[in-house]
Structure 1
Amino acid sequence: MIDEMIKRELNTTLSRQLSVKIQINHAERIHGGDINETFLLDTSEGRYFLKMNDARKYPDMFEKELSGLEELGAANVITVPRPLCFGTAGNRAFLLLEYLDKGNAAPDFWENFAASVARLHDQTRPYFGLNAANYIGSLKQYNTPYSSWAVFYAFNRLMPLAKMAFDNYRIDKPVLQQLENLCRRLPQLFPDEPPSLLHGDLWSGNFLVGSNGKAVIFDPAVYYGHREMDLAMTRLFGGFDTRFYYTYQAIRPLESGWQQRLGLCQLYPLLVHLNLFGGNYFNDVKDVLQQYN
């Protein structure tokens, strides 16, 4: 349950932001991630999904998440929960989203999911990046625009996390030098492609089956990048049917050699996990570096 004081503040704040008097009748805690508490709110205006975290630690996280969901929703090619508002109640930050019921997967679920991701990747911009930094997990994700994917990937993705890992004794000097050397070679390793709108954190924990039997995606780390990043992320922890990849390839074929670049694209989320959790992710990073040295 939500603390009664926070509940009263939420009643007031949500009523003001949504311009309608809202009374929270019941708040049921449901499964969330490592950073956020999540609740199903039963209110006088219907059911909502609420995320909360420490406003002092993550003062702008939900603002960035709302912007990312709006960016994905504007493409109008795949369902995302509609973000309603964000704010603070006491020392708690919150994000209010529409509540979407779960359903059973339609027979063509994976084919439809792949087609939707392919259409999402058709959305483009003149640059790689975004108009502001955001988050992947609890880590800041830099999105300074560049015209070159290789430069973007080196300066906004790999090197900031490599430096963080080195400063926090997660990697040693030889591994840092390997990462620096790899970054110099990125222009020769990636094929040229226009920027694509990416979910940015497309693993099996960030989608569900909606009431219509189709995919719903959430918890994005949005930016315009190389589309192989999203595909590589789906392969990192499993959970995606082979029909997803066959259909994507049929609709929007990847450049030759994409299988050999999977590790290169997975290096970024592996560095994210190394910085957050340590442990065996160090060996995973070293294994990827071995492939390209």
Structure 2
Amino acid sequence: MTALAGAGAALLGGRLVRAEPLSGGDLSQIVRITLADGRVAIVKNGPAPRTEAAMLAAIGAAGAPAPMVLAASDDALVIEALPAGGSLRNAWGSLGAALAGLHRCVGPRYGWDADFAFGRVAIENTWTDDWPTFWAERRLLTSLSQVPAALARRLEALAADLPNRLPRHPPPSLLHGDLWGGNVLVEDARVSGLIDPACYFGHAEVDLAMLTLFDRPGPAFYHAYGVLEPGADDRLVIYRLWPALVHLRLFGGGYRGMVEGFLAAARA
């Protein structure tokens, strides 16, 4: 933590006077620093700080709330400290509106300019013109060698059938990529920032699948976000497989039941 705080202070060209570790970083270290001139900032490491900086900038450019990037290097990302004293249960409408705005930003194809990672789990983002192909090759099939053989066979069969289950060319919306309650900062009843992104362009329902994996958005969220397209429930199950597989690979067999449950729900 001391080294990370020092790296952040150096990037800002200031003298470090205080460093406080922050919770919530399962896959990275996060620290709040205070400099001698009174500036306060958040410093974190991670798989690719410069790539994450570009992702945060893209979220902000789309008009969605995100912390301003103050500096970045190969080892550290420094962002502004946003107010976050509220609870998401009071801000579902604000999140729905923010996410709708984010998803209105569309890219040329499916993917991102750089790969990323959740810890040791690689996130492959090579550009693709066909959405079912992207979801099969960049998300589901990347886990085949990392999961038990029985699960791998079911994933492989599902991936082969994705052209019959997913739209071929949905709008390539800008996705947060790791949207859950812990990555949403709230002040009062307003979302103050979306943090810890794993952005790429893809089907907007992917963010909804991740958000509803562990959280239960209230009616105000859907009122602000808008009506989902027919068949969304079936697709959300398929999209939840990706974060479930990530949890299985990162945190172990306790998540195998989640993966199997989504495969069963997807009739795979």
**TM-score, L = length of structure 1:** 0.83
Whichever residue aligns with residue 14 of structure 1, its letter is L
**1:79 corresponds to:** 65
Give the direction of change, closer, same or farther, for the CA distance of 1:206–1:138 in structure 2 (3 Å limit): farther
Question: Do residues 102 (structure 1) and 84 (structure 2) align?
Answer: yes
Match of 1:29 among 1, 21, 40: 21
CA–CA distance in structure 1, aligned partners of residues 258 and 33 of structure 2: 40
Q: Which has the larger radius of gyration?
A: 1
**1:133 corresponds to:** 115
Match of 2:57 among 70, 83, 97: 70
Give the direction of change, closer, same or farther, for the CA distance of 1:248–1:161 in structure 2 (3 Å limit): same
Deviation at 1:36, TM superposition (A): 2.0
Deviation at 1:105, TM superposition (A): 6.0
Question: Do residues 287 (structure 1) and 261 (structure 2) align?
Answer: yes
- Is the CA contact 1:101–1:211 (under 8 Å) kept in the aligned structure 2? no
**2:209 corresponds to:** 232
Task: Output one character per residue of 1:79-113: Cα deviation in whole Å (capped at 9) or x when no partner.
Answer: 1111121236xxxx221111112244699732222
- Is the CA contact 1:64–1:135 (under 8 Å) kept in the aligned structure 2? no
Question: Do residues 242 (structure 1) and 224 (structure 2) align?
Answer: no
- Secondary structure of the 1:39 match is strand
Give the direction of change, closer, same or farther, for the CA distance of 1:234–1:8 in structure 2 (3 Å limit): closer
**1:221 corresponds to:** 198
Whichever residue aligns with residue 52 of structure 2, its letter is E
Whichever residue aligns with residue 266 of structure 1, its letter is R
Question: Do residues 190 (structure 1) and 166 (structure 2) align?
Answer: yes
- Is the CA contact 2:91–2:189 (under 8 Å) kept in the aligned structure 1? no
Give the number of aligned pairs: 265
- Is the CA contact 1:40–1:48 (under 8 Å) kept in the aligned structure 2? yes
CA–CA distance in structure 2, aligned partners of residues 96 and 119 of structure 1: 25
Q: CA RMSD in A?
A: 2.3
CA–CA distance in structure 1, aligned partners of residues 88 and 199 of structure 2: 27
- Is the CA contact 1:35–1:138 (under 8 Å) kept in the aligned structure 2? no
- Is the CA contact 2:8–2:78 (under 8 Å) kept in the aligned structure 1? no
Deviation at 1:242, TM superposition (A): 3.2
CA–CA distance in structure 1, aligned partners of residues 106 and 144 of structure 2: 28
**TM-score, L = length of structure 2:** 0.90
Task: Output one character per residue of 1:50-69: Cα deviation in whole Å (capped at 9) or x when no partner.
Answer: 1146xxxx4xx212211111
Whichever residue aligns with residue 152 of structure 2, its letter is L
CA–CA distance in structure 2, aligned partners of residues 182 and 237 of structure 1: 23
Deviation at 1:124, TM superposition (A): 0.7
Deviates more, 1:240-249 or 1:154-163: 240-249
- Is the CA contact 2:11–2:72 (under 8 Å) kept in the aligned structure 1? no
Task: Output one character per residue of 1:253-272: Cα deviation in whole Å (capped at 9) or x when no partner.
Answer: 32201112221110000011
Structure 2 unmatched runs, 5+: none
